[in-house]
Structure 1
Amino acid sequence: MKLLSVLVLVALPLYCFAGSGCLLLEQVVSKTIDPQVSISECQNFLEDFAQTPEKQQALADLKQRFLNQSDETLKIFGDMMQIMYSSKYCAAY
């Protein structure tokens, strides 16, 4: 039992640091798939990266495509991103 407790305590920090390695990427994905975040909020969050009207429109189109999806589809997409973040290919980052 003590060994199990030690293993859980050792694994906990590794679990807490799991992710893409890029907080900005995780925030962008999170805001994009969150149906509570409006198109304008998403555009404001990414205004440093989309400064032209064409890029702003592309962001609006992308966000609208996610808004058109069901909650189940958005949840599955979020789960898929977490699986990708924790894959062996992202482990180096």
Structure 2
Amino acid sequence: MKLVIVLMLTALPLFCYAGSGCELIEYLIDKTIDPTESKSQLIADFQQFIPGPITANALGNFKQCFLNQSNDTLSNVALMMDTIYNSPQCASY
């Protein structure tokens, strides 16, 4: 499961190439890896982007994956995302 999460998070910077704006993605990732943020609060924060209950359930399950991780793992994910966003490939966007 950790491998799936890592692969999914490493694919997120591809949105930078599409010009969709990394700030929103960074905000979503920060909220997702924040252990103090509940699943229901995350869903409420991003309700405008959720087309239906299936997507809301998927987002809740995705958040639960992070809630099950240790604080060390969460800080490593945050460090990885900072490294990706500050990379030369994504920094220009």
Q: TM-score, normalising length from structure 1? A: 0.75
1:25 maps to 2:32? no
Q: Number of aligned pairs?
A: 74
For 2:43 and 2:51, how far apart are their aligned partners in 1? 10
| Aligned-pair CA distance for 1:22 | 2.6
| Aligned-pair CA distance for 1:91 | 2.0
For 2:73 and 2:22, how far apart are their aligned partners in 1? 24
Residue pairs, 1:63-78, within 5 angstroms: 63-78=63-78
1:58 maps to 2:21? no
SS in 2 for 1:90: helix
Q: Where does structure 1 lack aligned partners over 5 or more consecutive residues?
A: 1-19
Backbone CA RMSD of aligned residues: 1.3
Measured against aligned partners, the alpha-carbon deviations of 1:37-71 in whole angstroms (never above 9, x if no partner) come to: 00000000111111301001001000000000000
In percent, how many aligned pairs have the same letter?
A: 42
Equivalent residue letter for 1:33: I
